Structure 1
Amino acid sequence: MNDDGSMARRPDLEVFAKKHGIRIGTIADLIHYRLSTEHTIVRIGERELPTVHGTFRLFSYEDRIEGGVHMAMVMGDIRRDAATLVRVHVVDPLRDLVGAEYNGPANWTLWAALQRVAQEGHGVVVVLANHESSQALLERIPQLTQPPRQYTRSQSRIYSEVGTGAQILQDLGVGKLRHLGPPLKYAGLTGYDLEVIESIPFPG
């Protein structure tokens, strides 16, 4: 806290640290440290996967914290110094299987993301397991016959998904992202050595 009771920002903390001879760390520093000492996902498989959009390489990952399996579908060669088209997609049974629509801005579906990557011939679609409870899913089913409404997830869940997706992208060798979706506002991405150079909204 500053003397006036306001929250101290990084420039304030740097002045304080220099004055008192102490070191400070950023969120990115913390992530770098945690990545060097622990991983919450581990790669468990890799194989070719023919699809209607072309042949992808399918990577499978086990989630050591939540359980379940995440997947990444890769087309083309991935280089850390080259921009890679990326979509990190959380499985939504209602949207992905039956085409349910939610109120709010349109976003990339799994099918549309795979199609876009196939058109460019290069990119990654990360498919994260949905840890939504059976009860929560059942409560959303009646919405299919009701006026559209906003589907939201908790902030803690979003941060967990971002972290998991970032670990997978780092494992695949992604460095620079052309992100299929709205602008990402997570400063901690730099801790995974990931840089978003472009955000591509859904053309709908």
Structure 2
Amino acid sequence: MTDPQSDASVVADAGSRVERVVEVRLPTAHGAFLAVGYLDLHSGTEQVALVHGEVAGERVLTRVHSECLTGDVFASAHCECGDQLSAALEAIVAAGRGILVYLQGHEGRGIGLLAKLRAMKLQEDGLDTVDANIALGLPVDAREYGVAAGILQDLGVASVRLLSNNPRKRAALLRYGIAVDERVPLLMPPGAENIRYLRAKRERLDHDLPHLDGIPGLS
């Protein structure tokens, strides 16, 4: 499979899309970061990147993390988002340098919090995460990554090692001119509450989740 080609117009658009507003040291349970706050000049949303070490250059360990209130804040077992957030921060500190771009506006793969909760209710009634969105008349995945590319460009990143199980995210960054040297798996142990969700992500959204192969009914 050939890599998607970057589009000169969208690359230029990403580069002019963000305004760096503030930088502040942010000590966390995982280590010390520099929180860099941005304004998305297209949407007006506020965005943040957590930076550890010197990140200008190539092969920067990078996580582009979609906001997930239920998983990141409330530790929902319905998804693996909160675990991935913590694991990504730990991996970045262990590597000595890296970036976590936390994308607001990506709740529920871009459909918003209330719509996500309605989709979760439909999943309780038997639909998977894809069919639940469709039943609500909403996109299966409405996320876009121009603002993430703009942030990475502003931080001087030449290429990334992308912490993700999602090949589509890699393709999106490539389109915006962000070179992806490697996609680094970020696999979390599945649980009883998220097995169906993870199976749908693998079978219908192309996520690379080989650790599900040994689970009965998922291989």
| TM-score, normalised via structure 1 length | 0.69
- The reply to whether residue 177 of structure 1 matches residue 177 of structure 2 is no
Quick one: structure 1 residues 148 and 71, their matched pair in 2 at CA, closer, same or farther if it must change by over 3 Å? farther
- The corresponding residue for 1:23 is none
| C-alpha spacing 1:117/1:150, structure 2 compared with 1 (3 Å) | same
Matches within 5 A, 1:117-196: 117-130=92-105, 132-140=111-119, 142=121, 149-150=128-129, 154=139, 157-158=142-143, 160=144, 162-182=145-165, 183=167, 184-186=169-171, 189=174, 191-192=176-177, 194-196=178-180
Q: Pick the aligned partner of 2:60 from 84, 103, 107.
A: 84
SS at match of 2:129: coil
State the AA in 1 paired with 2:51. Answer: V
Shift of 1:109: 1.9
Q: Under a length normalisation based on structure 2, what TM-score does the superposition of the two structures give?
A: 0.65
The answer to whether the aligner puts 1:34 opposite 2:18 as a matched pair is: no
8 Å CA contact 1:101–1:148 kept in 2: the answer is no
> Do structure 1's residue 111 and structure 2's residue 86 form an aligned pair?
yes
User: Cα offset for 1:143?
Assistant: 6.7
Query: 1:69 touches 1:129 (CA, 8 Å); kept in 2?
Result: yes
Cα distance, 1:154 vs structure 2: 3.6
2:40 to 60, 63, 66: 63
**In 2, distance between residues paired with 1:155 and 1:30?**
26
> In percent, how many aligned pairs have the same letter?
27
Tell me if structure 2 keeps the 8 A contact 1:62–1:70: yes
Partner of 2:142, secondary structure, is helix
1:198 equivalent in alignment to 2:182 = yes
User: What RMSD in Å do the two structures reach over aligned CA positions?
Assistant: 3.1
Amino acid at match of 2:93: A
Structure 1 regions of 5+ residues with no counterpart?
1-25
Equivalent residues of 1:102, 1:150 under 8 A apart: no
Which is greater in Rg? 1
Please give the secondary structure, in 2, of the residue aligned with 1:186: helix
CA 1:48–1:78: 2 relative to 1, 3 Å: same
In the TM superposition, what whole-angstrom CA distance separates every residue of 1:155-203 from its partner, at most 9, and x where no partner exists? 7732x2x1111111111111111000133452762653x2111101123
Partner Cα separation in structure 2 for residue 187 and residue 113 of structure 1: 20
Answering whether residue 73 of structure 2 is matched by residue 97 of structure 1, we say yes
C-alpha change, 1:191 and 1:130, in structure 2 (3 Å) is closer
Q: Is the 8 A contact 2:119 2:129 kept in 1?
A: no
Rounded Cα–Cα distance in structure 2 between residues aligned with 1:30 and 1:155:
26
